[in-house]
A and B are shown apart, each in its own frame.
Chain A
Amino acid sequence: MLLDIQILDPNDYVGFTFFIGYMAMLAASVFFFFERGSVDKKWQLSLLISGLITGIAAVHYFYMRDYYLATGDNPTFFRYVDWTLTVPLMCVEFYLLTKAAGAKKSLLWKLIIASVWMLVAGYIGESFSDGTAAHSVKWGVISTIGYLYILYAAWFGEVAQLAENSGSAAVKRGVRTLAWFVLVGWAIYPIGYMCMDGGWLNTSLGWASENVDLWYNIADAINKIGFGLVVYNIAVTESK
């Protein structure tokens, strides 16, 4: 069934965001890979990671779009496979940006562990949901611990301090912009999470569980492409 051409209903906003998300991720990957050659060598790895983040997401979106159109279900499993690969890569970006200011490997591992913790707990909360609020809240809170660690590191902790000591205005500004992405952009995901059956927005405000993917798609497009563009901007500024 997945090999058939799937028809996208013009009123299907979730399907539309899957479609446009795929195209945007693909375009962003091409952009980052091509632009890699126009920046200093020390920034090429950062741009490669940016391209990989959007590239991995594009492949997943291509599949998730068809899966959604064919079955009408949320492609939760593939969504989390995508995030498990791309979110730690976003943490790698933080490490690479602050490496010149003395970031250690331990910082990289702490950020990766926190991001994996956040995603695994989120996956359990979503995939093994029994439709009760207790389940969704419990795993939501566990997941948030990982998020808060990354948020703290980016705003006040090691990452922020390394950026402050980097001596580069572009890195300082860039890390702060990425911290804003973590604060505001990543906060869109819990909106989707809370739309699922048993979630607060679902039970208290009546937001439909079909909205889960809508929110996730919007958040992915903002965060993955936005993250890459911020890194690109730092790389270009520092290469002049």
Chain B
Amino acid sequence: MNIFTFLFVVSTYLLFIIFRSFTEVSLESQLLFSSFFILIIGIPHGAIDHVLFFKKRTLSQIKFYAIYLGLILVFLVLWIYFPFWSLLLFLLISAFHFGESQFSEIKASNLIKYLLYPVWGIALLSTLMHYNLLELIDITTYFKDTNDLQILYDEGFIFQLYLITNIGSVILLLLLAVKSQMNLDRLFSELFLLIILHITFYLFPFLIAFTMYFVILHSIKVMHQEYQFLKNDNDTFKLIDFIKILLPYSLLSIFFTALIIALSYVGIISYSVPLVSIIIISVITLPHAIVMHIFYNE
């Protein structure tokens, strides 16, 4: 168990106790909870992509920003014309990215690594969907444009995916242990984490469960990796320096996210607030996942 899993277990316990005091947690409260933590912790974890990239590769700033923003634009266009495929692509990219950040320091053959990352990530997302499918369908049927994406939420398909990828993840983890590429302590920690994720996703509503994973096990962990990397590069680098470099792009992202959501809310943008939120998250995930892939591998 690492410190992030410990934090996750403690948070799950505390939130469970708090949530038990209420008979039902409204969707508005869930949205408020999730938006708050995703904005203040989730967004900053991707706010120094440019710093990480330039520590790893040499490229002119203009080229980097052109490619970074170009990817965002291309994905945005894809969303407008092919929303279903875009959602699918977003889920696959996210699954790979979550898996990669979870096992970034494991030294294994490319074949096992590139199998483990998406399989573990899909196991994570399908588990979340499997335990909260009815709620997810309820949320998406509320708006016309999100209703169109429901084709993905086929109960039988999600269940098969849940089963296959969870079993697949366990087999791949065991394989890593057998090949001595993962020690027993780490193996038990990963199996323990899988069980804890299942319990959390079962106990909590969709949005809360995802936010807890995304904030504690993903964003805080990635920020810690980023901080350690920059600290190793410069001994005098302190936490306050890290916050300083996180702030500008975090604030900019939060501002634009809030602006676009507000435009959707007042009807200037013809997409519903939930769909706009998914689109924003997905278009910024694509270049972030690519930069983090370079960060972890080079």
Interfacial residues, chain A to chain B (CB-CB below 8 A)? 133, 137, 141, 144, 148, 151-152, 155-156, 176, 180, 183-184, 200
Contact, CB under 8 Å: A137 / B185: no
Contact, CB under 8 Å: B185 / A184: no
Contact, CB under 8 Å: B10 / A137: no
B179 surroundings in chain A (CB, below 8 A): none
B17 surroundings in chain A (CB, below 8 A): 137, 141
Interface: B13 (CB within 8 A) = yes
Residue from A141, A156, A184 in contact with B192 in the complex, judged by beta carbons closer than 8 Å? A184
Contact, CB under 8 Å: A156 / B20: no
Known: A137-B20, A144-B13, A200-B20. A151 touches B6 (CB 8 A): yes
Shortest CB–CB separation between residue B130 and chain A, in angstroms?
19
Interface: B74 (CB within 8 A) = no
B3 surroundings in chain A (CB, below 8 A): 156
Shortest CB–CB separation between residue A190 and chain B, in angstroms?
9
Interface residues of B in 12-37 (CB under 8 A from A): 13, 17, 20
18 contacts between A and B (CB under 8 A): A133-B20, A137-B17, A137-B20, A141-B17, A144-B13, A148-B10, A151-B6, A152-B6, A155-B1, A155-B6, A156-B3, A156-B6, A176-B185, A180-B188, A183-B1, A183-B192, A184-B192, A200-B20
Tell me the interface secondary structure of chain B in the complex.
helix
Task: State the 10 A-B residue pairs at the shortest beta-carbon distance, nearest first.
Answer: A156-B3, A141-B17, A155-B1, A176-B185, A137-B17, A183-B1, A148-B10, A155-B6, A137-B20, A180-B188
Shortest CB–CB separation between residue B90 and chain A, in angstroms?
34
B185 surroundings in chain A (CB, below 8 A): 176
Name the CB-closest residue of A to B16. Answer: A200
A148 surroundings in chain B (CB, below 8 A): 10
A155 surroundings in chain B (CB, below 8 A): 1, 6
A141 surroundings in chain B (CB, below 8 A): 17
A180–B10 Cα distance when bound, in Å, is 16
A176 surroundings in chain B (CB, below 8 A): 185
A141–B20 Cα distance when bound, in Å, is 13
A176–B3 Cα distance when bound, in Å, is 14
Name the CB-closest residue of A to B185. Answer: A176
B13 surroundings in chain A (CB, below 8 A): 144
Shortest CB–CB separation between residue B2 and chain A, in angstroms?
9
A148–B192 Cα distance when bound, in Å, is 17
Name the CB-closest residue of B to A179. Answer: B1
Contact digits for B165-192, partner A, Cβ 8 Å, 1 yes 0 no:
0000000000000000000010010001
A184–B10 Cα distance when bound, in Å, is 14
Interface residues of B in 252-270 (CB under 8 A from A): none
